[in-house]
């Protein structure tokens, strides 16, 4: 018996990185997944590889109408929706002094407005399932500490923390069986991290060493380590856990 038996998850950012790894683990644990991403070809290829209990849908999380269509596609394909994983996100550099308005708007749109639209679209379908449901939003170690070099990203992830707690409270107070929690990764070896490592900001080995040193465990994390936390929060094993911040950051957020 798998921890995701009977669960149907809509996963944004499901084409690669943490989202793709969550999808792999959820299918391995008995769940069904709808991989929603801008990169539809990659999402479809992964869905084909994962088999019958996986499908893909082209979604830009900034588009409210596409969200309604993504939820409908999921319930049409798998009969219900019981898990929402808001994983799609971007990280672009910019302090409050040198960051552009463009970076601010794009980051807030994808990292904060996207999950807001997603929760609004998914919650009615989750309620209609009549089953225990879960929302897992991906924050960041930076939501817990902030970082000057990514002002918009820090704000978007801290904002998402407030949204997640508000959703958790609303569902609990209404007696709706939907839990909402966050996973906050440290630096994780995904395409997002590799883009930064080879961005030219510094020698790649210096970036790797500097990023590792930001974590007391002195290494970069692996997407499988984040995915295991997401799967736990999405599963009924976490049945009395709502509104929490689960850090998967090698201790990065607790160091003073
Ligand atoms: N990798 C890290 O070091 C790290 C650290 C902390 C938090 N995170 C967070 O984890 C999440 C996943 O990060 P990752 O490292 O896997 O990133 P990634 O760039 O490797 O993958 C992100 C995925 O999201 C998709 N995406 C981007 N914009 C989208 C949009 N508008 N609509 C739909 N899909 C969109 C991309 O196509 C891609 O498939 C993000 O929210 C990120 O902020 C990552």
Question: Which option is the CATH number for 8-248: 3.40.50.720, 3.40.640.10, 3.10.20.520, 1.10.10.10?
Answer: 3.40.50.720
**Helix (H/G/I), strand (E/B), else coil: 225:** helix
The mean pLDDT value for 59-81 works out to: 98
Q: What is the 23 CA–ligand 1 centroid distance (Å)?
A: 14
The residue whose CB lies within 8 Å of the most ligand 1 atoms, and thus the one to mutate among 33, 192, 229, is 192
The mean pLDDT value for 87-99 works out to: 97
> What is the rounded distance in angstroms from the CA atom of residue 24 to the CA atom of residue 89?
19
Concatenated DSSP letters of 48-89 = HHH-TTEEEEE--TT-HHHHHHHHHHHHHHHS---EEEE---
Pairing of strands 133-138, 245-248: unpaired
The mean pLDDT value for 55-75 works out to: 98
Q: Which pLDDT score is estimated for 161?
A: 98
Work out the pLDDT band at 1, boundaries 50, 70, 90.
confident
Ligand 1 site, residue 70, Cβ cutoff 6 A: no
The mean pLDDT value for 176-202 works out to: 96
Write out pLDDT tens, residues 212-242.
999 999 999 999 999 999 999 999 999 999 9
Q: Which of 117, 153, 193, 196 is catalytic?
A: 153
Q: Which pLDDT score is estimated for 256?
A: 81
**Which residue would you say has higher pLDDT here, 146 or 198?**
198
Q: Which pLDDT score is estimated for 135?
A: 99
Q: Which of 101, 105, 94 is nearest to 156 (CA)?
A: 105
Ligand 1 site, residue 115, Cβ cutoff 6 A: no
The residues facing 12 across adjacent strands are: 36
- CA-proximal residue: ligand 1, atom 25 (nearest): 13
Percent of the chain with pLDDT over 90: 97
- CA-proximal residue: ligand 1, atom 21 (nearest): 17
Query: Which ligand 1 atom is nearest residue 220's CA?
Result: 3
- CA-proximal residue: ligand 1, atom 1 (nearest): 188
Q: What is the 174 CA–ligand 1 centroid distance (Å)?
A: 31
Q: Which pLDDT score is estimated for 70?
A: 99
Give residue for tokens 């904002």: 159
Work out the pLDDT band at 146, boundaries 50, 70, 90.
confident
Active site residue 153: yes
DSSP state of 32: E
Query: Which ligand 1 atom is nearest residue 109's CA?
Result: 31
The mean pLDDT value for 241-250 works out to: 98
Contact predicate 133/126, CB 8 Å: yes
The full 3-state SS of 160-220, as one line of letters, equals: HHHHHHHHHHHHHHCCCCEEEEEEEECCECCHHHHHHHCCCCCCHHHHHHHHHHCCCCCCC
Contact predicate 247/225, CB 8 Å: no
Q: Which pLDDT score is estimated for 37?
A: 98
Query: Which ligand 1 atom is nearest residue 91's CA?
Result: 43
Query: Which ligand 1 atom is nearest residue 15's CA?
Result: 39
**Tokens of residue 146, six digits:** 């902030």
Q: Which of 152, 68, 72, 70 is nearest to 110 (CA)?
A: 152
């Amino acid at each position: 018996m798998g921890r995701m038996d009977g669960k149907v998850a809509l996963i944004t950012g499901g084409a690669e990185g943490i989202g793709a790894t969550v999808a792999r683990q959820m299918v391995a644990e008995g769940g069904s997944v709808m991989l929603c991403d801008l990169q539809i070809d990659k999402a479809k290829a992964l869905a084909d590889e994962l088999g019958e209990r996986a499908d893909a849908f082209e979604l830009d999380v900034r588009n409210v109408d596409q969200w309604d269509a993504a939820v409908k596609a999921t319930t049409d394909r798998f009969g219900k929706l019981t898990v929402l994983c808001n994983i799609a996100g971007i990280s672009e550099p910019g302090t409050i002094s040198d960051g552009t308005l463009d970076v601010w708007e794009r980051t807030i749109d994808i990292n904060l407005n996207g999950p807001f639209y997603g929760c609004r679209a998914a919650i009615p379908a989750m309620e209609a399932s009549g089953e225990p449901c879960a929302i897992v939003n991906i924050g960041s170690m930076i939501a817990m500490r902030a970082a000057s070099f990514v002002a918009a990203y820090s704000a978007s992830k801290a904002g998402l923390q407030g949204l997640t707690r508000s959703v958790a409270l609303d569902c609990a107070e209404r007696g709706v069986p939907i839990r909402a929690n966050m996973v906050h990764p440290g630096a994780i070896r995904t395409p997002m991290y590799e883009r930064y490592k080879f961005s030219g900001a510094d020698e790649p080995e210096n970036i790797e060493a500097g990023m590792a040193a930001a974590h007391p465990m002195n290494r970069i994390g692996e997407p499988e380590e984040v995915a295991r936390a997401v799967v736990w929060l999405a599963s009924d094993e976490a049945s009395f856990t709502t509104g929490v911040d689960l850090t998967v950051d090698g201790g990065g957020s607790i160091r003073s």
